[in-house]
Amino acid sequence: MRETELILYTDCEEGSLLQNMSWLMENYDSEFYNREDKVSLLYECFHDLMSITAEHGFYGNLWHCYLTNLCVNHENAYSTACEIVGTIEGSINELALHDFTIFKEYFEYDFTDMFQKLQVTALSIMLHYEGSSSISKIYNDRIRTTICTTAVRLDEAKNPAEMKDIMTGFYRSFGVGKFGLHKAFRIIHKEENDQAEIIPILRIAHVHLDDLIGYEIAKQKLIDNTEAFVQGKKANNCLLFGDAGTGKSSSIKAIVNEYYDRGLRIIEVYKHQFKDLNDVIAQVKNRHYKFIIYMDDLSFEEFEIEYKYLKAVIEGGMEKKPDNVLIYATSNRRHLIKENYADKDDRREEDMHSGDTVQEKLSLVARFGVSIFFGAPTRAQFQTIVKQLAKKNQVRMSEPDLLAEANKWELSHGGLSGRTAQQFIDYLLGRQS
C-alpha cells in the first residue's frame, strides 16, 4: 500500500496504525519475515483499532470508520478550504484526488487472505462490529453516527472522485478537525512548550433559549449581537451582569447550542489563564468559525492584576483583535473590579491621583460594548417561572399547592431566582414515583 505517497493527508493522528497496517498489507505473505512477528504486529494493530473504537464509539466496519475519522480530523490545505466554501477551484483538487485514490485502495482492501494465511480469522469481527449503542468519549452521538454513516458512503463510492465529493460535503457541513466537530473548548497550559492548548469539552449542557423563561429583553439583546456576529457583521463584546442564579451563564450556553450549526464555537477561559489569551486567539484567528471566548463569574479583587491582560486583549494592544473572536463574560458585579470607598478619597497620601486609579478600574467594563442586566425576578415572575417549568417537566401537582411549596422553598434556598425555581422543580421530580 502507498501510505508514504500521501501528499495532503500526511502525518495523520494515530497514524502508526495506518503505517503498520500498510506494512502488513504488503508483507503478510512474504517469507522474508517470520509468521510470529507478523501475527504479533497484526494483533497490535487490532488492539489499537479496538482502543480507538472504544474511545470513539464506532460500529460497523471499524477499519473504514478509522480511515474516515482520519479524513474528518485532518486539517490540511484542502480540508480547511472546503470548510469555508465547499467545492473549491484550482490544482489542489488534483492533489486531493491523488490522496483519495490511495484511500480508495485502503477501503477496497480484502483482509480475507491475510487473516487466513496468518490464521487469525477471529479478527474478521472488526469488519462488522456491533456497537451502535456504545457511548463515545470523543464525539457527541450525532457526530459519531455521522462518521460511521460517512464510512459506509465512502465504501460505496464508485471511484476516488466520488469519495472526494463525499468528504468535501462533510467538510462544508461539519468542518474539519476539533473546531469542526466540537462546539465547546477549554484551554490548558503546556509547560513543556509554554503554550496554550485548546481542548474540546465533550459533555456540555444541552440548554436552549426556549428553556430560559423570562428575561426576554435581555435574551434578545444577546441574540441580536450574536446574530450579527455569525453573519459577519460588526458586533460587540458582551458583559452579562446581575444577580446570582438569573440565567446569565445558561444564556451563553444556549446561544452556542443555537448557533453551532452556523459555525459558532465557544472557548472557556478562567481568570488565571488570561496570560494565554493572545496565544489562544492566534490559534483561531484564521479559521472559518466564529469564536466566543467565555469568562464565567468574572470579577477581580483589589490585589488581582489579571484584568490588565484582559484590557489589552479586548482593545488597546498593538495587534487588532480578529473579526472572528468576541468576548462574552458573566459577573455578579457591574464594574467587575472590587472598589472601596478609599478609592474615591482624594486625600489619600498613598495615591496622589486616586481619580486615575478609579478610572483604570472602571475602564475594563467600558471595553464591553454591550452590557446586559439580569435582575432577580419579582415574586409574580418567580411564580410564572415555576409554573412554566412545572408544565414543561409534567409535574403532577395542583397550582395552589405548587406555588405554596415554591414560596416555602425559595425562603430557605437562595431567594427569588430562576436557579432556585429550577432546583425546586428538580426536587419535586425526584419525589415523583
Which H or E element spans position 196?
strand 195-200
Burial class, 349, CB count within 10 angstroms (exposed 0-12 / middle 13-18 / buried 19+)? exposed
Please, what is the end-to-end C-alpha distance for the chain in angstroms?
60
For residue 213, give the 3-state DSSP assignment. Answer: coil
Going by their DSSP bridges, the two strands 195-200 and 184-190 should be labelled as antiparallel
Question: Among 12-21, 58-67, 296-305, 326-335, which stretch is predicted with the lowest mean pLDDT?
Answer: 296-305
Residue type, 285: K
* pLDDT for the residue 396: 86
Phi, psi of 241 (to 5 degrees): -130, 160
Q: Which three cell numbers stand for residue 208?
A: 436552549
pLDDT in tens, 267-313: 999 888 888 888 999 899 888 899 999 998 887 666 566 666 777 77
> What tens digit of pLDDT does each residue of 321-376 get?
788 999 999 987 665 555 554 555 544 445 544 455 556 556 666 778 888 988 88
Maximum separation of any 2 CA atoms in the chain, in Å: 93
Q: What's the whole-number mean pLDDT along residues 101-115? A: 94
What pTM was computed for the model? 0.77
225-269: per-residue pLDDT in tens? 999 999 999 999 999 988 888 888 889 999 998 998 888 999 999
Residue 414 has pLDDT above 90, yes or no: no
The length of the chain in residues reads 433
Grid cell locating 48: 489499537
Would you say 240 and 330 are in contact if contact means Cβ atoms under 8 Å apart?
A: yes
pLDDT tens-digit map of 160-219: 999 999 999 999 888 899 998 889 999 998 888 788 999 998 777 778 888 788 788 899
Query: What stretch of H or E contains 190?
Result: strand 184-190
Here the cell at position 97 is 484526488
Tell me the pLDDT of the chain averaged across its residues. 85
Contacts 24+ apart (CB under 8 A), 406-410: 406/382, 407/379, 407/383, 410/382
Cell of 290: 466564529
For residues 102 and 274, the model is more confident at 102
H helices of 175-247, where? 177-181, 216-230
